[in-house]
Chain A
Amino acid sequence: AQRVTQPEKLLSVFKGAPVELKCNYSYSGSPELFWYVQYSRQRLQLLLRHISRESIKGFTADLNKGETSFHLKKPFAQEEDSAMYYCALAGGGNKLTFGTGTQLKVEL
């Protein structure tokens, strides 16, 4: 079985502060991990996937197989980063398992 855990329902940070959204997963094989973002009144969209190793909008995420984690990080939070963030796992192919989500609120 595959499982994704996001321990924080809400994360509130000040503008310019570092951000770390936590994600842990459980899967017996080699998973693909993703971060999806849902801005207010906008559609769910892919932010990052671990195999691409990109930095998108200043966000990065590193897959740590030893700790089974895929935390999302950004050194300096911006107001426009406020959104719901979902960590997701694909154990094989296109069937995605989403975590429960973390609402990020960036305060001025």
Chain B
Amino acid sequence: DTEVTQTPKHLVMGMTNKKSLKCEQHMGHRAMYWYKQKAKKPPELMFVYSYEKLSINESVPSRFSPECPNSSLLNLHLHALQPEDSALYLCASSQFYGVKTHYEQYFGPGTRLTVT
């Protein structure tokens, strides 16, 4: 399996809801990423997990809570979101997280989130 999968494809939630996004890969990759992509804008890095530990948090508001329960799975828990959080949320994985060496990132199809 050489793909990154994401569920759900679409999610509509109210500002008081709690929901989760799920990302899965079975390529044996040890680094996983969450990106946020607004319409017609480039992806913006949110979080990086390396060996199931949070390595990078790009000053993301606490209403976004990532979790990496095992090496294949990455979740993004959402709570009390704002309408401006509506975006495409992309997951990616790479063999490792390189500090000096770049490892190719493989992207999932994304979850399109609408906050009402």
Docked Cα-Cα span, A43 to B43, in Å, equals 12
Q: Which single member of B40, B98, B102, B107 contacts A44 (CB below 8 Å)?
A: B107
Name which of A11-19, A20-28, A64-72, A89-97 contacts chain B.
A89-97
B107-A94 in contact (CB<8A): no
- With A100-B42, A101-B40 as given contacts, are A90 and B107 in contact (CB-CB < 8 Å)? no
Asked if B99 CB lies within 8 Å of chain A CBs, one says yes
Does B94 touch A at the CB level, under 8 Å?
yes
Given A43-B110, A44-B90, A44-B107: A93 and B42 within 8 A (CB)?
Answer: no
Check B105–A94 contact: CB distance below 8 A: yes
**Complex Cα spacing A103 to B31, Å:** 29
Contact with B102, one of A32, A45, A99, A103 (Cβ below 8 angstroms)? A32
Cα A20 to Cα B39 in complex, Å, equals: 24
